[in-house]
């Protein structure tokens, strides 16, 4: 399953956004607080439970000048990769877009595609408002 979240404009320079996203402790600032339980993180890993769903965990694969790549951690119920691309627009603004590739069987895909899309859209929109 592939989910692509359209880009959002962020009122911050690209380097600051990459630095923020590279530290997974910051992910908590982007999550919907009413839907998250048991958030744990350090700079390179994080895990949390989505209310009504299962636990998700992320591991940082790499952070470059223009992207942050994460993958599913041991506690996730399925394997996935999340790529967040950050591109400069001006000296003080950039855009961010996300792509999720998940190894999910077709039956489960029907149940989780919409909630996952909404979840990652929420995170991306919070990234935009975090730097507003």
What is the mean predicted confidence (pLDDT) over 123-129?
94
Q: Dihedral through CA 101, CA 25, CA 40, CA 68, nearest 10?
A: 20
Residue 125 has pLDDT above 90, yes or no: yes
- In the chain, % of residues over pLDDT 90: 82
Q: What is the pLDDT of residue 19?
A: 97
**10 Å Cβ neighbour count for 102?**
19
pTM of the model: 0.92
**Which residues are bridge partners to 111 per DSSP?**
none
What is the mean predicted confidence (pLDDT) over 9-25?
97
Residue 43: name the closest of 66, 20, 71 by CA: 20
Residue 104, token pair as written in the block: 């999910």
**10 Å Cβ neighbour count for 98?**
21
CB contact at 8 A, 23 and 119: no
Domain 2-130, architecture per CATH: 2-Layer Sandwich (3.30)
Q: What is the pLDDT of residue 94?
A: 97
> Is 93 strand, coil or helix?
coil
Residue 108 has pLDDT above 90, yes or no: no
Q: What is the pLDDT of residue 92?
A: 95
CB contact at 8 A, 33 and 130: no
What is the mean predicted confidence (pLDDT) over 11-24?
97
Residue 78, token pair as written in the block: 């399925």
pLDDT digits (tens, 9 = 90+) for 40-96: 999 999 999 988 878 999 999 999 999 999 999 998 988 999 999 999 999 999 999
What residue segments make up the domains of the chain, in order of their start? Answer: 2-130
Q: What is the pLDDT of residue 99?
A: 97
> Predicted confidence band at 117 (pLDDT cuts at 50, 70, 90)?
very high
Residue 22, token pair as written in the block: 């590279």
């Amino acid at each position: 399953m592939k989910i692509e979240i359209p880009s959002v404009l962020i009122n911050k320079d690209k380097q600051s956004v990459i630095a923020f996203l590279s530290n997974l402790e910051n992910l908590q600032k982007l999550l919907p607080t009413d839907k998250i339980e048991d958030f744990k993180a350090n700079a390179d890993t994080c895990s949390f439970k989505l209310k009504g769903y299962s636990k998700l965990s992320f591991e940082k694969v790499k952070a470059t000048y223009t992207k942050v790549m994460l993958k599913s951690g041991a506690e996730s119920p399925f394997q996935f990769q999340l790529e967040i691309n950050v591109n400069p627009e001006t000296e003080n603004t950039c855009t961010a877009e996300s792509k999720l590739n998940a190894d999910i069987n077709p039956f489960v895909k029907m149940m989780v595609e919409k909630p996952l899309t909404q979840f990652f859209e929420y995170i991306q929109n919070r990234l935009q408002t975090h730097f507003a």
